[in-house]
Structure 1
C-alpha cells in the first residue's frame, strides 16, 4: 500500500483561491455520499462496525477541510483568500452541526445501540459509538421539528458571530505615538528599531514585539499605560454588539438543548463535568475557581504591597498598581532583589538560536527528528519540517512565527490534517508573533508551550478514527502537556544548549537559578490574573450582564489586587471567549495536572525512560482514552492538587 503523503499547497494566488474553493467542495461531496449510504444502512445490511467506519470517513473529510480553511482564514496574507476561507469555515461548520440534527442519520446508530449491536465491537469502536450518540443528543436530534429548526438557526449564527469576533480581533491593530524620551528603559536595539517619524514622535503598536518589551521595560509609566490601554481596547467597539448577541444566543441554545447554562453545556464533555449531568458542570467551574481563590489569596495579598512600595519609588503619589505596571514592577524587583536583569537575559535568546534549540530539545525528548522540507506554504516566513523517527515520517509541522498585517495576533497551534494510520499524515501549524531578533524569556516559554500542542497533535495523530486524532482529549486537559513543556525553558542544562550571549557563551546556570528564584515572587498575583480571566469567561456566560464593560471591570477588580485600567473594554479583544467560551478555567485546571505530571520526571527533565513513558502514555494515545486514565497510566495514580499548591505557595 502506498504511504500517505502530506498536503501539497499552492504556489500562487489563483492556486490558493482554487484550494479554498475546491477542497471544501470535495469534502462536502464525500460527506453527502457517506450520508446517503448511512441512510441505506438497514437496507444494505451494514453492521455497527461498517456504520462507524462510514461515519469516520465523513468525520475525517469534514475535520480536515474545516481545519485547512480555518488556518487560512487566520494566516493567509491575502485578504480575499482569508475572506473566502472564513466563508468556507461557516459552510462546513453549518454542515457538521446540521448533520447532528438529522434523525435519519441518527437512526443507523441508535439502532445498533443494543447489547446485540455492540457485541461485535471492540473497545475503541464502542467508545466512538458512545461519543457519536452523545454528539447527536447534544446537537438536538431528539427535539421536536420546530425546536430543531431553531437550534439549527442558532448554531449557524453562533458560528457566524464567533468568526466575526475573531476577524475583528485579527484585523484590529492600534498605535500610540510617544516622544523618543518616553522609550527610557527599553533595550537599545528596540530603540534603534523605532526611530522618530517626521513629526518627531515614535510609533508603537499593539503587536506583541512592541507591546511585550514596552510593558516590561519602559520606565515611563505613561508610556506603559498608553500601550496597555490601547491593547485593552482592541476590537472595540466592533465586538461589543457581537459578544452581547453571542452570549444571549448561547444561553438560548443551551436552554433549548436542556442545559441550565452554556457553562453546563460545555463542561459535559470535559474532565470537570464528568458525571455532573446536564445542569451540574457549570457549578463545578465556580467551585474550582473558589478553590483557586482560597489557595492564592494570602500569597497574593502578601505580594501586592511589595509591588506598590516599589512603584512609589518611581511614582510617590501612586495609590494602586495597575495591569500596566505589573510586568515592569516584577522585572524591576527581580533585577534589584535577585540580580536578574531581564534585558541581560534577553541578550542570550536570539530567535535564530531559539528556533533550532526548541527543535533539538523536543526532538531529543520525544525521540524524533525535524527534517526541513522545502515546500510551498501560505507565506515565505513559514518553516516546514517532517517529523521523523527511525526513517518513518510521523507528520509534518509548519512554523509561522512572526507578526504581519491580517495574521492571527496571539500564539496558538492550529491542526490541519487529523492523522489516521495508513490514510492521512498528521499536519499542524504554529501561528505566533515573536520578535525576529532578541526574544524575551517569556517569549521563549510561550514557544515551548505552543510547541507542546504541536507535538501532541503530531504524536497523537496515529489513530484509527479521526475523532481521537491528535489533541482530541477533554478540552480542560489539552493545556496540560503544553504547560508541562514550559518547564524545559527553565532548565539550565537545556538552555545552555542553544543560548549565546554577546561573546558566544551560553546563559550561565547561576543566572537561570536566579531567574527561577525570582520567578516565584509574583506567582500568586499571576494566578489571580488568570483567575480574573476565568471569572470573566464564566460570569459573562452565566450572569449575562447588560453592561459588559462594567461586569468585566468588576470581575477583574474583585479578583486581583492589581487594578484593571478603568473604562476600557478588554472583553472585546478576549479571543478565548470564542474557542473556550465559559471555560477559561481550563488553563488552571490543566496547570494542576501539569505540575503533577512533572513529578513523573523525578527531577531530570531529559530522563529517557520518563520521556518515553510520557510520550507513550500521555501524547501518543490522542483522544482514544479518557484524560484521567492517561494521567493514571503515567503517574500510577489519579492527579492531585498537592504539587500545584506547593508550586504556588512554596509550602
Structure 2
C-alpha cells in the first residue's frame, strides 16, 4: 500500500476545538511563507518553481478549508461548528486576498509557458485567470472594495447556510392525519401528551409525508413549513448577498453575477456575449423541450386530485409527489410502499458499496477510527493492494447537522503527498428507505468516487471533482441509473421474507417513472429560473419574484405566500447557476449510451473510469466527454429520455 497516511481525527471531545482552530493556523502560516518567497524572490525562480510553490500554498488552503467546511456542517458540538465556521471565513478571506495582491500577481503575470509541460501550462493559465477574476489588476480603491465585498459574500453565505441548518420546523397533527403513511412511520411517531403527533421538516418526515399522506391538509401543512425554512431570518441575508454579488461583478468588469460565474464553466466557453446570455438560452431550450409534454401530464394529475378533493382547482407542489406515486400505483401497478419494503438501509448501504466496487474495480475496506460522530462509517478505497483514498459516510439526521444530501471533499488528493478523502453527509432513514432515497444515495456516491478516483493529481487545482462546475453533476446523475437496474437491485434488496425485488416490478417502476418526467423537468427549471433571475434581475420583493418564477415555469403551482428562497441552500454555492443540474443531465444521458445497455460492462466501465473520473480537472470537460463517447456530446439522448424512451 502507499505510504501516504490518511487524516487522523481527535479521539477526545476537547481535542476537537484544537483541531478546528490549529490546523487552519498552520495552513495560514505556510501560505504566508510561500507568498513572501514568491514576492521577494520570484526573479530567482523559473516558472516551474513558482508554480510548485503556488501549488504548496493552494494545497494547504484547500485542505484546511475543506476540513473547516465539513466540521461547520457536521460536528455535533455547537462550539466546534462555530469555530469551524469562523475558520472558513478566515480561510476564504485569505484565498480572496491573495488574488487581490498585485505583487503576488506579478510573479505570474509575465511568465510564458514555453518551457512548461501541459499540466504546468494549464495551471499557469488558470492562475492568471484567477488573479484577473479576483481583482488584482484593479486600481487600489477598487481592489479594497472587492476585498470587502468578497469577505462579506463568504460571511453572508455561511450565515444563510447556518440558518437553514438550524431552521428545522415542526407541525402538530392529529393521528388521523397520518392516513396513508407506512405503519413503521406511524409507529415511529407516537402521540404526544396533548393527543397530537409531531412532524418535522427533516427529510425523514418530509419525504414520506409528501409521497404517502392521503390527507391533503397534512401534506400542505408540512410542505408549507418546509417552504418557510429559515424565514424570515434569511430574507435580509439573501437580499444583501445578491447586492454584494452584483456590485462585485460590476467592479470586476462583468455585466452581472451570472456572467462572472459562467466565465469558468462549460456554458460560458467561447461566448463573447457572456455566459449570462448562454444560461437564458439554455433555459429557453429546456422550456421548449418540456412544455408540450408537461402540458399533457398536468391534466392527468389534476383529474386524479379531484377524485380526492372535488373542489381542487390546481395541483400544488404539496400534491405533486403524492399524485405521481398514486398514479404510478393505479396506472402501472407500482406501489411505492411495496417498493419501499425491499429497501432496508442495512441492505442498501452494502448494496451501493458492492455495486460501485464492481463497477470501479475497487474494494471498500472498513476502518475503525475516531470520527466526529458515532454514526460515521469510514472505509479505505483499495485497488489491487493500493490504497487510493478514504471515504466517510455520515448518513442519518441529527440536530445541528447539514440537513440535505451532499458530498463534502475533505482532503484533496495530490500524488505522493495527500491521500484523497471525502465525506457524504445525508439524512436517510435508519429503517426502510424510499426508492428516491436510494437514487439519492447513488447520486451522492457518484460525487464521492469522483473525488477519490480523480485524486491522483500532480496539482491540487485539478484534484477530484475540480472540473467545470456545470459538468460536476454529470457523473453523479449517470450513477443514478444503477438504482434503476433490475439485476443490480436484485443483488442487494430483500423484503421481510428475504425475497429480492422482482424484475417485473423494476420494469414497471421504470415505465411509471416516465410519467411526470416533463413536469419534474419543469420543477427543476423553476429552481433554475429562481436561481438565475434573483441574481440577474435583483428584484426588490424576493417573495413575489420567487413565486412568480415557480408559478410561470410549471403548471404545478407553488404554495402561495411562502418563502422557499429562504431555505434554497443552492443559492450560496451554485449562485445564479442552478441550470447546472439540467446541463449536466444532458451530458449524463449521453454518457449512458457509452455503456451500450449493459451497466456492468467491464470494458465500458474501465473506459469510463479512465476518461471521465480519473483525470479529475486536468482536462476540459468537453475533452473528457469526447474521449469517452468518441464524439461530441449531443442533446439527442436527453430529448429521448424526456419523451419517455
Deviation at 1:414, TM superposition (A): 0.1
Q: 8 Å contact 2:543–2:562 — kept in the other structure?
A: yes
User: In the aligned structure 2, how far is the partner of 1:97 from the partner of 1:303?
Assistant: 48
- Correspondent of 2:491 among 490, 497, 500: 497
State whether structure 2 residue 261 is matched by structure 1 residue 266.
yes
Other-structure match for 2:591: 597
Q: Counterpart in 2 of 1:446?
A: 440
The answer (yes or no) to whether the contact 1:41–1:108 under 8 Å persists in 2 is no
| Matches of 1:124 and 1:420, distance apart in 2 | 13
Which residue number in structure 2 is paired with residue 174 of structure 1? 169
Residue-by-residue CA offset, 1:418-465 (whole Å, 9 max, x unaligned):
000110000000000000000000000000000000000000000000
Aligned partner of 1:24 in structure 2 is 24
Question: SS of 2:400's equivalent?
Answer: coil
Give the 3-state SS of the residue equivalent to 1:375 in structure 2.
coil
1:88, CA displacement in angstroms? 0.1
Distance, in Å, in 2 between the alignment partners of 1:493 and 1:329 is 28
2-side partners of 1:650 and 1:491: how far apart?
A: 16
Partner of 1:8: 8
Q: CA deviation at 1:280?
A: 1.2
Q: Is the CA contact (8 Å cut-off) linking 2:515 and 2:644 kept in structure 1? A: no
Matched, 1:235 2:230: yes
Q: Which residue of 1 aligns with 2:455?
A: 461
Aligned counterparts, 1:50-61, within 5 A = 50-61=49-60
Q: What does residue 308 of structure 1 align with? A: 302
1:135 aligned to which of 130, 137, 144: 130
Structure 2 length as normaliser, TM-score? Answer: 0.99
Q: Which residue of 1 aligns with 2:640?
A: 646
- SS of 2:70's equivalent? helix
Distance in 1, matches of 2:535 and 2:2, equals 49
- TM-superposition CA deviations, 1:372-428 (whole Å, max 9, x none): 000110000000000000010000000000000000000000001100011000000
Could you tell me which residue of structure 1 aligns to residue 101 of structure 2? 102
Please name the residue that 1:165 is paired with: 160
> Does structure 1 retain, via aligned residues, the 8 Å contact 2:396–2:427?
yes
Aligned to 1:434, the other structure's residue is in SS state: coil
**SS of the residue 1:387 aligns to:** strand
1:280 matched to 2:299? The reply is no
Distance 1:462 1:405 in 2: 35
- Secondary structure in structure 2 of the residue aligned to 1:639: coil
2:249 aligns to what? Answer: 254
Q: Aligned with 2:393: secondary structure? A: strand
- Structure-1 residue corresponding to 2:319: 325
Q: Distance in 2 between matches of 1:410 and 1:545?
A: 27
> Aligned partners of 1:173 and 1:37: how far apart in 2?
48
Residue matched to 2:148: 153
- Partner of 2:242, secondary structure, is helix
Aligned pair count reads 645
1:286, CA displacement in angstroms?
Answer: 0.3
Cα deviation for residue 13 of structure 1 reads: 1.9
CA contact (8 A) 1:448 1:486 kept: yes
Following superposition, the deviation at residue 574 of structure 1 comes to 0.1
The residue number in structure 1 matching 2:567 is 573
1: CA distance between counterparts of 2:384 and 2:274? 48
2:368 aligns to what?
374
- Partner SS state of residue 161, structure 2: helix
Alpha-carbon deviations, 1:95-147, whole Å to 9, x = none?
A: 000000001110111131x3xxx211001100000000000000000100000
Task: Tell me the residue number matched to 1:563.
Answer: 557
SS of equivalent to 2:419: coil
- Please state whether the residue corresponding to 1:372 is helix, strand or coil: strand
- Asked if residue 186 in structure 1 is aligned to residue 181 in structure 2, the reply is yes
Structure 1: which 4+ aligned runs deviate by more than 2 Å? 40-43
Query: What per-residue deviation string (whole Å, max 9, x for no partner) do you get for residues 466-511 of structure 1?
Result: 0000000000000000000000000000000000011101000000
Match for residue 606 of structure 1 among 597, 600, 604: 600
- Paired residues for 1:480-519 under 5 Å: 480-519=474-513
Mapped partners of 1:326, 1:545: distance in 2: 28
Q: What residue is the counterpart of 1:71 in the other structure?
A: 70
CA offsets 1:504-561 (integer angstroms, 9 cap, x no match): 0100000000000000000000000000000000000000000000000000000000
| Contact 2:355–2:488, Cα closer than 8 Å, also in 1 | yes
SS at structure 1 position matched to 2:224: helix
Deviation, structure 1 residue 60: 0.2
Tell me if 1:126 matches 2:125: no
1:527 equivalent in structure 2: 521
**2:84 equivalent in structure 1:** 85
5+ long unaligned stretches in structure 1: none
SS in 1 for 2:220: helix
SS of structure 2 residue aligned to 1:40: helix
TM-superposed CA distance for 1:275, in Å, is 1.4
- Give the distance between the partners of 2:178 and 2:148, measured in 1 at CA: 51
Stretches of structure 2 lacking an aligned partner (at least 5 in a row):
none
Please report how far the alpha carbon of residue 250 of structure 1 lies from its aligned counterpart in structure 2 after TM superposition: 0.3
Residues 105 and 11 from structure 1, CA distance in 2 versus in 1: closer, same or farther, beyond 3 angstroms? Answer: same
CA distance in 1, matches of 2:243, 2:488: 48
In the alignment, is the contact (CA less than 8 A) between 1:556 and 1:563 conserved in 2?
Answer: yes
Shift in alpha-carbon separation, 1:2–1:343, aligned structure 2, 3 A: closer
Deviations 1:569-622 (A, max 9, x none): 000000000000000000000000000000000000000000000000000000
TM-score (norm 1): 0.98
For residues 5 and 572 of structure 1, the distance between their equivalents in structure 2, rounded to whole angstroms, comes to 41
CA offset at residue 2 of structure 1? 7.6
2:387 counterpart of 1:393: yes
Matching residue within 377, 402, 410 for 2:404: 410
Equivalent residue in structure 2 for 1:538, among 520, 532, 535: 532
- Could you give the per-residue CA deviations for residues 3-38 of structure 1, whole angstroms, max 9, x where no partner exists? 210000001221100001110000000001100111
Q: CA deviation at 1:276?
A: 1.8
**Distance of 1:2 and 1:477 partners within structure 2:** 30
Task: Judge conservation of contact 1:41–1:51 (CA < 8 Å) in 2.
Answer: no
C-alpha distance in 2 between matches for 1:140 and 1:570: 33
Alpha carbons 2:20, 2:68 under 8 Å: kept:
yes
Tell me if structure 1 keeps the 8 A contact 2:325–2:335: yes
Q: Distance in 2 between matches of 1:629 and 1:67?
A: 28
SS in structure 2 opposite 1:13? Answer: coil
CA contact (8 A) 2:2 2:387 kept: no
Counterpart contact for 2:99–2:131, Cα < 8 Å: yes
C-alpha displacement of 1:565: 0.2
Q: Tell me how far 1:42 sits from its aligned partner.
A: 3.6
Classify the secondary structure of the residue corresponding to 1:358. helix
Aligned counterparts of 2:634 and 2:296: Cα–Cα separation in 1 = 26
